[in-house]
Chain A
Amino acid sequence: MNSSNARLGVRLFFVYLLLYGGFVLINAFAPSQMEATPIAGLNLAILYGFGLIIGALVLSLVYGALCSNEDATDDSSSSTGADA
């Protein structure tokens, strides 16, 4: 595998981790915030929850579009893993 794919993957992973972590922490420490209804009578719990699901799909499509398709041509990086 190619290490630029791995680097891109790790970056996108941290983007999602921030989004997901934010959701979990708001739920845990300020659950009443989730009752606010900022848009169209929908509460934050539903907006953020749907946002996380749609966000996962968007990020995965971005990853798919940016990844290069050269498979396992470079064996030197394959034995130790992604951060090589």
Chain B
Amino acid sequence: MIYERSMSAVVLFTVFVGFTLGLSFWLGRKAKSSEGYFAAHGQIPWFVNGIAFAGDYLSAASFLGICGMIAVSGYDGFLYSIGFLAGWIVALFVVAEPMKRLGKFTFADALDAKFNSPGIKLAAGISTLVVSVFYLIPQMVGAGVLVEPLLGFEHWVGVLIVGTVVILIVVTAGMVSTTWVQFLKGSLLVVFSAILSWMILERGFSTKPGGDEQRIFRTLGPYAQADFKPTAANLPNIEAEVGGNLVVPQGEWDASGFVQFTAGDETSTWKLDAADDSKADTVLLRECQWVTTKADGSVLINGQPKGTGDGQAVLTPVGRITRLPDGQEETGSLGMAEFFSTLQESEVELWRKHSLKEASGDKTDIYYPKLTPGSEVLRPGENPKFAGIRGDSIFGKLNFISLMLALFCGTASLPHILIRYYTVKDESSARKSTIVGIASIGFFYVLTLYLGLGAMTSGAMDVTSSNMSAPLLARSMSTWLFGAISAIAFTTVLGTVSGLILASAGAVTHDLCSSYFGWEMTDEEKVRLAKTSSVVVGGIAIVLGILFKGLNVGFLVGWAFSVAASANLPALVMILFWKGVTRQGVIAAVIVGMVSSLGWILVSDDTCKAVYGMSEPLGITPFSQPGIVTIPLGFLTLIAVSKMTTGTAQDESAAA
């Protein structure tokens, strides 16, 4: 799609980001010591810390990724919401209070509290870096996605802007300003999502197409399948109805299920859709949109150059209800439960993609409408990534269980979330702030289903990018709301990214340089080193954010959870609940969990297809999500190695 810059959105956005930066500089004057830089002197009030948890946790993945996935495939995206929230139960009931008691600055502190071993610091420090960098990728991708429609910049410019602003925030003031940015963003995100959901319910459903031009994509037929041959007797009638001459299908187009017609300069593409289950040889023609990427890199939209002038074309925003219960055209405002029960009885036009690679090197992505009953939109298993639960293969089901396990275990293993326990004064504050966090995060996740389904039926969706759904939904309501939502989404990225960079800087300064390499540093030098590492990690994040453009950010975050849960959770939980843990056991568990989950992800079929662009995946792993194998593996490694090294551990740890 072509995005036009809207002044009101830009003004709101600039004010917002300016205010955030100003606040950050102002707060930054106070934080000079490393205690202040990393842990805000442990002086953050518990309520503020709780909302900051929401600000830290509700990342681009939640806001853009989950809403986008729900908008494209329905209920499946909500499975992430459920899993992300469930993880907080582990954080509250198992990890929160001991975490506050055992550590001071970093997650490694807590693991190492009993042993004081540089080896543990090294392993946990590296794992913190790996998880944080993995988590940074989707945030940066989300940033690029946001800036594109808002300011009209290219994706990479967006990534660069976020990267720079975040580095400024982190370098100026560390944890104090990061906390307040997260508090601000957490409150605004929840409040504005509630407003947007309320507006969706007020607007209700309508069968009118969205967008300024209110274009309806045509459906013609039914015709006999055999009519689509140059010699068929009925072809002239079809051509008259379509308004163009059939392009004789050649190469990849032959038997692809799609046909094209031309009239003068204009071409149209149609999907041959089975008309009726009982008659396999009759088809309906459904009008499509398509994007061709030529071998030389130029892009054509619907066969024409991209643009709004004569002889140019842009993709039309899509997504609407095609049929409401009892033949209504508009429902008017709906109640919270009525929203779902109405959708359950309706029919929705979803859009799917089919790619054709031609011998000439041209690649064509065809986007075609798929009429789907509301009851299927509201059930799990429609998204290709979750379709395994409806299949017969046990691996498809294990893949799903594996992801849900990683989400459950991942939250309490994320270093940037765990360090927030050091910013409050005691264990009771740690507990209370977690409860506040659960309340605000849970409320937001309930809203994601309304936001996602609202976007699905808003007529404002971009067929090429699921991540844009929530901001585009806001734009379909009002430009000001669009500006506000985009600005909030942008600070969403800022808040989470600054937390991640701070966690990484802490790992480099305390765990690696100070504890492992034994650098003697004054407090001031520590802060300076932390700031330098923030700049480096920020730079890496910018590069990765540009490389990974186009992947659903929710999906990417799922990976970070898998690695975090496999590497960190076994050690953390066992230290709390088993007296037989040894230093070597902890180190082995962290390393084995990290390497196995990371390795699994890098060779999994999903990665091969989505990241490396391979048409034939390697097929090394039986399913794509590692958690169900690598999390137990971490526990087993810890127990086995601890058993083998019991007895020697105490003496060595004293000497090490």
Asked if A64 and B426 sit within 8 Å, CB to CB, the answer is no
Q: Are B78 and A40 in contact (CB under 8 A)?
A: no
Query: B94, A27: Cβ atoms under 8 Å?
Result: no
Q: Contact mask A16-53 → B, CB, 8 Å, 1/0?
A: 10001001110111010011010011110110011011
Main secondary structure of the interface of A (DSSP, over half): helix
Q: Is the CB of B442 within 8 A of A34?
A: no
Say if the beta carbon of A60 comes within 8 Å of chain B: yes
Residue of B nearest to A48 (CB): B82
Give A49 to B442 CA distance when docked, in angstroms.
11
With A20-B86, A20-B408, A82-B576 as given contacts, are A49 and B78 in contact (CB-CB < 8 Å)?
A: yes
- Kindly list chain B residues whose C-beta atoms are within 8 Å of the C-beta of A20: 82, 86, 89, 404, 408
CB of B93 within 8 A of chain A?
yes
In the docked arrangement, what's the CA distance between A69 and B130, Å? Answer: 36
Q: Which residues of A lie under 8 Å from residue B185 when comparing CB positions?
A: none
Contact of A60 among B92, B98, B446 (CB under 8 A): B92
> How far is it, in angstroms, between the C-alpha of A56 and the C-alpha of B439 when the chains are bound?
9
Q: Mark B308-348, 1 if CB is under 8 A from A, else 0.
A: 00000000000000000000000000000100110011000
B378 close to chain A: CB less than 8 A = yes
CA distance A16 to B86 in the complex (A): 8
- For chain A, the count of residues having a C-beta within 8 Å of the partner chain is 47
Interface of B is mostly: helix
A59 to B218, CA, bound (A): 51
**Of A13, A25, A40, A49, which is within 8 A of B93 by CB?**
A13
Contact A10-B344, Cβ < 8 Å, known A23-B82, A83-B577: no
Q: Does B385 contact A (CB under 8 A)?
A: no
> Are B576 and A9 interface neighbours, CB within 8 A?
no
Q: Is A78 an interface residue (CB 8 A)?
A: yes
Check A5–B401 contact: CB distance below 8 A. Answer: no
Contact A12 B435 (CB under 8 A): no
Partner of B442 from the list A56, A67, A78 (CB cut-off 8 Å) is: A56
Q: Are B378 and A43 in contact (CB under 8 A)?
A: yes
In the bound complex, do residue B379 and residue A31 qualify as a contact, i.e. CB atoms below 8 Å apart? Answer: yes
B390 CB within 8 Å of chain A:
yes
The minimal Cβ–Cβ distance linking B406 to chain A, given in whole angstroms, is 12
Give the Cβ gap from A24 to chain B, nearest Cβ, in Å: 5
A61–B435 contact, CB under 8 A? yes
Q: Which residues of A contact B445 (CB under 8 A)?
A: 53
Within 494-540 of B, Cβ neighbours of A (below 8 Å) are at none
- Bound CA–CA A52/B11 (angstroms): 40
Cβ contacts under 8 Å, B405 to chain A: 24
Partner of B435, one of A43, A46, A60, A82: A60
Asked whether, in the complex, the Cβ of A78 is within 8 Å of the Cβ of B92, the reply is no
Identify which of residues 69-115 in chain B touch chain A, using a CB-to-CB cut-off of 8 Å. 75, 78-79, 81-82, 85-86, 88-90, 92-94, 97-98, 101, 114
Question: Are B90 and A46 within 8 A (Cβ)?
Answer: no
- Chain B residues with CB under 8 Å of A24's CB are 400-401, 404-405
Q: Can you name 18 extra interface pairs (CB under 8 A) apart from A1-B97, A81-B575?
A: A10-B93, A20-B408, A23-B82, A25-B401, A29-B397, A49-B82, A53-B81, A53-B446, A56-B88, A57-B438, A57-B439, A60-B89, A60-B439, A63-B435, A67-B428, A69-B428, A71-B426, A79-B114
**What would be 29 A-B contacts, judged by CB atoms less than 8 Å apart?**
A6-B97, A6-B98, A10-B93, A10-B94, A20-B404, A24-B400, A24-B404, A27-B79, A27-B400, A27-B404, A28-B397, A40-B341, A41-B340, A41-B344, A43-B344, A45-B378, A46-B75, A46-B340, A49-B75, A49-B82, A49-B449, A52-B85, A53-B81, A56-B88, A60-B438, A69-B428, A72-B426, A81-B579, A82-B577
Instruction: In the A-B complex, list the 9 residue pairs whose CB atoms are closest, starting with the nearest.
Output: A41-B341, A9-B93, A13-B93, A81-B576, A28-B397, A24-B404, A71-B426, A1-B97, A16-B89
| A interface residue numbers (CB < 8 A to B) | 1, 5-6, 9-10, 12-13, 16, 20, 23-25, 27-29, 31, 34-35, 37, 40-43, 45-46, 49-50, 52-54, 56-57, 59-61, 63-64, 67, 69, 71-72, 78-83
Q: What is B's interface to A at a CB cutoff of 8 Å?
A: 75, 78-79, 81-82, 85-86, 88-90, 92-94, 97-98, 101, 114, 337, 340-341, 344-345, 375, 378-381, 389-390, 397, 400-401, 404-405, 408, 426-428, 431-432, 434-435, 438-439, 442, 445-446, 449, 575-577, 579
